[in-house]
Structure 1
């Protein structure tokens, strides 16, 4: 694996935005910005020997900073934090103290996805980004130091290793929000085939907030245990926007999802140490621009957002999402392409 760091010439709050390219012996390439830890390209050979980009995004950093894009803002390819998904009413308590944050999706109005991260030196060809989130940012307590390391293996695995420490108890639930489409011509992902080893999904209220109840997938549209086309059972106007509890030991690296697309011959496998995968088929995706300048429409991508239980900080039965001083938050997620 090799790396190449390129200046974009853009600055935010005095910090320079760089693009970092990781390549491997197969000729594959991943491009990552230190703004929002955005993965903007993941180019591999498909089943026909053609180079194909499987990630939605823009040709350059300007696309991600465009006002029209930010007005719609689908979180294309970014890291999400301090807390991914939804916290009910933006309220939670730690050690008897109540906190109220502004109600929003994915960690606040200006979460980790809108920060310029520091690029740390590494010994091997990889990219390690660091962001220090000050106490009180988006109403979260504690100074939180987060490091995210990207590696591209010679087996076309994009490996994401997360670590975080804090000086005061704080909620944390990080994920990455890459949008995938394995068809080289893009379009609706309903024909992609998906398998998910998840026997239960998490009940959500009308605002997509997890209630704490687990529901068996058997006999529902959420049953992907044996694999099926994504569009086989969905409501074509709604798609999927649902969290699934993975059938693996807590904290162990295991399969979260496996997606294939017939025309390209590509297969995406997602592995994670996290207990939950949120599966989203981009109902709200709507951009005027894109890499091919045709824009993106709803249901033209899918996301597998590996994470802890959404709203877990308010559900005592779920594993804790509170990080305390002296502890280290750690998780690994792997996106593996093959044909």
Structure 2
């Protein structure tokens, strides 16, 4: 583990980069800005270690970062319709940063804040953030922790926790763009996603409130198949929330295998194991090469995909979805592992 200066924010705040590595040849780079995973390299059997996430070469890319590369999204990831939040009969207006919608925590959100280093050891770093009452409109002061741990031979484990001094909502998400074969389209990757349903979206990408069976839809990834639309529509894009099949499948830590992803040439695979009930799958259609990239990997459309475990999207406005309310004395906790082999 080592810590390096990465850059300064416009207000002069210094941003650090924490580098982790292990004996198998894996390495990870984490920034204190946005608690972002800037780089991840994993071993490949019979080949050279491979970069598997998209990132920016300099801090300037992260200061804009409208596509949320690598960041920790919160207080509430995904979309909240009209920024409307009602808790115990009290309405709170959240900031709006995508038309009339609150996205990934709002105008600032956790992804555009400097975090602090709380603790480090040889294989991990824990970052902390104090989000004050009223931050982007959310009630309650929130104390957040995000731990990145690099496990042998090629796993990045992410643990997020939060406590509050007043009722609020919390749904954090890790937002890396993954590619198992840099330079190829993720549409050529194959994926198996253990989901029993998906949440249909309206034109503003806000859920309708239904949970629909994936059978017979383009969202059916229960069997390993290419990411491209099964009906061959080249314009079909994936940006959807799927309900993970957790029934009787969790291990002693509450983790279930949600996803298996395989490179086009089958040289590398990744599994996502998580404690969360939902996962947002985005195929990176909106990526663009607007800032210099780590490793020179072009950020073209479909250069990487997001697999974001979280609570149900827009649950504050969808009575059929489980609530993400966190109250004083309770602990919010999410564990997600991205395992490469």
**TM-score normalised according to structure 1 size:** 0.92
State the distance in 1 between where 2:60 and 2:92 align: 35
Mapped pair 1:96 → 2:89: yes
Partner residue, 1:259? 261
State the distance in 1 between where 2:187 and 2:5 align: 38
Partner residue, 1:230? 227
Q: State how many pairs are aligned.
A: 330
Mapped pair 1:308 → 2:311: yes
Partner residue, 2:333? 330
Which of 267, 271, 285 lines up with 2:287 in the alignment? 285
Question: C-alpha deviations, 1:187-225, integer Å up to 9, x for none?
Answer: 311110000010211111111111220111111111100
Question: C-alpha deviations, 1:77-118, integer Å up to 9, x for none?
Answer: 000000100011111200011111222321101110011101
Partner residue, 2:242? 244
User: Displacement of 1:123 after TM fit?
Assistant: 5.3
Partner residue, 2:14? 16
Change (3 A) 1:183 1:122: closer
User: Displacement of 1:55 after TM fit?
Assistant: 0.5
Task: Give the alignment of 1:49-198 within 5 angstroms.
Answer: 49-65=47-63, 70=64, 73-104=66-97, 105-122=103-120, 125-184=123-182, 186-198=183-195
User: Displacement of 1:284 after TM fit?
Assistant: 1.3
Partner residue, 1:297? 300
Contact 2:117 2:126 survives alignment (8 Å): yes
State the distance in 2 between where 1:13 and 1:260 align: 43
User: Displacement of 1:299 after TM fit?
Assistant: 1.5
Change (3 A) 1:147 1:249: farther
Partner residue, 2:324? 321
Structure 1, unmatched stretches of 5+, are none
Contact 1:47 1:264 survives alignment (8 Å): no
Contact 1:238 1:283 survives alignment (8 Å): no
Structure 2, unmatched stretches of 5+, are 98-102
**TM-score normalised according to structure 2 size:** 0.92
State the distance in 2 between where 1:247 and 1:214 align: 13
Question: C-alpha deviations, 1:160-212, integer Å up to 9, x for none?
Answer: 0111000011111100100011113x231111000001021111111111122
SS of match in other structure, 1:305 = strand
Greater alpha carbon shift after TM alignment, 199-208 vs 225-234: 225-234
Partner residue, 2:100? none
Change (3 A) 1:147 1:239: same
Contact 2:78 2:313 survives alignment (8 Å): yes
State the distance in 2 between where 1:183 and 1:48 align: 15
Greater alpha carbon shift after TM alignment, 220-229 vs 3-12: 3-12
Runs of 4 or more, structure 1, over 4 Å off, are: none
Mapped pair 1:216 → 2:213: yes
Once superposed, what is the RMSD of the aligned Cα atoms? 1.8
SS of match in other structure, 1:231 = coil
